[in-house]
Amino acid sequence: MNPEEVDELLKKLQEDWPIIDVISFNEFNIQDKLQNASYQLMVYHEQYIKAKSRMDELIDIKNRAIGKKYDELRFNSDKSLTGKEIENYYLPRDKDIRKINAAIAKQQVIVNYFEACTKAIDKLNWNIKLFIDDRRIGG
């Protein structure tokens, strides 16, 4: 994926899964945020698990495609190719494998997004505690 595609995908994820709204708080909504944090953590972690599972599925598809293509090139081709030649020169250029690699790269961005969201929500309680402590000391 190029940087523009990554930016577009992240923008879409942020629209569909607005993590900033979940982790932002102030003195007026702090109680609601505390009560809702565990639920939000569960929701975002579930999305992380689903995204990771989809990525693992794509990797499995890629491995099977590589195995099939390798066998075709190694044993059913007119050319006499070594394993290294196939791995280094033919497989990276295969259009099907390139499509799968693109899907894996996209899915990795999604996995990373939900992983970061889960970590941010997990830290929410700590951030609220620090906010409350700061208010006590300062105010």
Q: ∠ CA 28-20-10 to the nearest 5 degrees?
A: 170
HSE-CB for 129 with a 13 A CA cutoff:
6
DSSP output for the chain: --HHHHHHHHHHHHHHS-HHHHH---TTTHHHHHHHHHHHHHHHHHHHHHHHHHHHHHHHHHHHHHHHHHHHHHHSSSS---HHHIIIIIGGG-HHHHHHHHHHHHHHHHHHHHHHHHHHHHHHHHHHHHHHHHHHHH-
pLDDT given for residue 97 in this prediction: 96
Q: What percent of the chain has pLDDT over 90?
A: 71
Q: Is the pLDDT of residue 80 over 90?
A: no
pLDDT given for residue 82 in this prediction: 84
Q: What is the pTM of this model?
A: 0.86
What does the pLDDT look like over 22-78, one tens digit per residue? 999 998 999 999 889 999 999 999 999 999 999 999 999 999 999 999 988 888 877
